[in-house]
């Protein structure tokens, strides 16, 4: 039995069409499945948890964006149940790191239904699992503002939030503890990568590996607003890591104290202090 969790509002309605294709695939292959779809995360989580407690499943398939995948992780990881992420959101950064096409869903489903899942590393921040990026700093400030905006809809809302927040944004002072040391630093942005990208393909931690048992940590030290606007576009190619004000290192555990908010997989974690650990082999999924 397979559980198919669908977010119908993902990708401005793409969740519905992709979800229909996934269900059709399982029906045509005569594979047993149960569909879960709800507008509210709490209802979806409750229904899915009840089903998993009463049935033996081969895996949970998340059809939506990183938000739904993040929710599914909280359910399946403690139960050691495999999960798959079918891209139907606006960012799809978990799928990007796993190497799957954003368009060829059939090939991904063929692999999922015919091969065994593989272990991957996951991050755990204050008992919450994440697959891609844990971040704090300017991007979290922008997320906070974007979530309060009622206009415009879609990805342009994030761009508007950047324009509103950048003029007044100031570097934040952080106390950071890693596997080997504790240090103070001012930073515009800190990204803790289990995966490589966030924000729909921003390769903030371009060399992150989901099988090495370590986070890749990127710290952008203070730069002028003009310099920030120059550096920011380079994140799409990963070339920002050569900038002299960008520091990169690896660690298994990290703790952060600051007057700041943190997000993981695009979902709000809350105010610092936060503590995170890269847990080797914590998840089971299919990757290219």
Do 21 and 102 share a structural domain? yes
Q: What is the pLDDT of residue 205?
A: 98
Do residues 226 and 169 both lie within one domain?
yes
Instruction: Determine the length of the chain.
Output: 288
On whether residue 121 sits in a domain, the answer given is no
Residues near 227 by beta carbon (within 8 Å), at least 6 away in sequence: 245
Q: Are residues 223 and 110 in the same domain?
A: no
> CA 209 → CA 119, 161, 197, 283, distances in Å?
12, 31, 11, 14
pLDDT (0 to 100) of residue 40:
81
The per-residue pLDDT for range 46-67, each reduced to its tens digit, is: 999 999 999 999 999 999 999 9
Q: Could you tell me the pTM of the whole model?
A: 0.93
| Residue-level pLDDT at 50 | 94
- Is 123 among the domain residues? no
pLDDT in tens, 191-217: 999 999 998 899 999 999 999 999 999
Residue 86 falls in which region: left (phi positive, over 0), alpha (psi -120 to 50) or beta: beta
DSSP H or E stretch at residue 110: helix 105-114
Whether pLDDT at 281 is above 70: yes
Q: Does residue 265 lie within any of the structural domains?
A: yes
Work out the average pLDDT over 168-173. 95
User: What is the structure's pLDDT at 232?
Assistant: 86
How many structural domains compose the chain?
2
The answer to the question of residue 231 being in a domain is yes
Give the model's confidence band at 155: pLDDT under 50 very low, under 70 low, under 90 confident, else very high.
low
Let me know if residue 49 belongs to a domain: yes
The reported pLDDT for the residue numbered 91 is 86
User: What residue numbers bound the domain in which 74 lies?
Assistant: 2-116
What would the two tokens of residue 89 be?
A: 């959101």
Would the pLDDT of 76 be above 80?
A: yes
pLDDT of residue 257: 98
- Give the mean pLDDT of 127-133: 97
Q: Look at residue 182 in the predicted model and tell me its pLDDT.
A: 98
Check which CATH number belongs to the domain holding 78 and give it: 3.40.50.10330
Q: Per residue in 237-279, pLDDT tens?
A: 999 999 999 999 999 999 999 999 999 998 999 999 999 999 9
The residue out of 116, 141, 156 marking a domain boundary is: 116
Q: Is the pLDDT of residue 156 over 80?
A: no
Note whether residue 180 is domain-resident: yes
- Whether 125 is covered by a domain: the verdict is no
User: Crossing angle for the helix pair 105-114 and 14-28, nearest 10 degrees?
Assistant: 40
Are 229 and 199 within one domain? yes
Question: Do 108 and 64 reside in the same domain of the chain?
Answer: yes
- Judge if 160 and 241 occupy the same domain: yes
DSSP 8-state assignment for residue 165: H
For residue 264, give the nearest of 71, 111, 80 by alpha carbon. Answer: 71
Which helix H or strand E contains 269, and what residues bound it? strand 267-271
Are 136 and 279 members of one domain?
A: yes
Which residue among 91, 116, 141 closes a domain?
116
Give the residue from 64, 86, 116 where a domain finishes. Answer: 116
**What pLDDT was estimated at residue 72?**
97
Please, which pLDDT band fits residue 146 given cuts at 50, 70 and 90? confident
> Residue 126 CB: number of other CB atoms within 10 A?
12
pLDDT at 249: 98
| Position 209 in a domain | yes
The partner residues of 217 in beta bridges, in order of sequence, read: 192, 249
- Indicate if 12 and 81 belong to the same structural domain: yes
Do 258 and 135 belong together in one domain? yes
Domain CATH code at residue 192: 2.60.200.40
- Judgement on whether residues 100 and 206 belong to the same structural domain of the protein: no
| Pair 136, 250 in one domain | yes
Query: Is 108 found in the same domain as 197?
Result: no
pLDDT at 39 over 80: no
What are the tokens at 258?
């600051």
């Amino acid at each position: 039995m397979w559980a198919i969790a669908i977010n119908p509002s993902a990708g401005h309605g793409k969740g519905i069409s992709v979800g229909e294709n996934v269900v059709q695939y399982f029906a045509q292959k005569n594979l047993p499945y149960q569909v879960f779809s709800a507008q509210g995360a709490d209802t979806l989580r409750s229904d899915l948890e009840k089903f998993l407690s009463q049935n033996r499943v081969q895996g949970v398939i998340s059809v939506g964006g990183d938000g739904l995948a993040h929710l599914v992780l909280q359910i399946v990881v403690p139960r050691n149940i495999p999960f798959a992420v079918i891209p139907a959101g606006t960012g799809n950064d978990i799928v990007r790191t796993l190497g799957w096409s954003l368009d060829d869903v059939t090939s991904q489903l063929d692999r999922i239904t015919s091969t065994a899942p593989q272990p991957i590393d996951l991050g755990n921040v204050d008992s919450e699992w994440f697959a891609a990026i844990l971040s704090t700093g300017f991007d979290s400030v922008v997320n906070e503002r974007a979530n309060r905006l009622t206009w415009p809809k879609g990805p342009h809302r994030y761009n508007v939030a950047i324009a509103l927040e950048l003029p007044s944004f100031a570097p934040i002072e952080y106390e950071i503890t890693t596997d080997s040391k504790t240090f103070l630093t001012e930073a515009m942005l800190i990204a803790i990568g289990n995966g490589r990208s966030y924000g729909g393909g921003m390769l903030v931690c371009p060399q992150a590996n989901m099988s090495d048992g370590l986070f890749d940590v990127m710290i952008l030290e203070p730069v002028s607003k003009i310099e920030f606007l120059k550096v920011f576009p380079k994140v799409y190619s990963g070339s920002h890591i050569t900038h002299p004000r960008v520091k990169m290192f690896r660690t298994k555990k990290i703790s952060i104290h600051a007057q700041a908010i943190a997000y993981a997989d695009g979902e709000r974690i809350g105010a610092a202090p936060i503590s995170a650990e890269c847990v080797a082999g914590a998840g089971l999924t299919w990757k290219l």
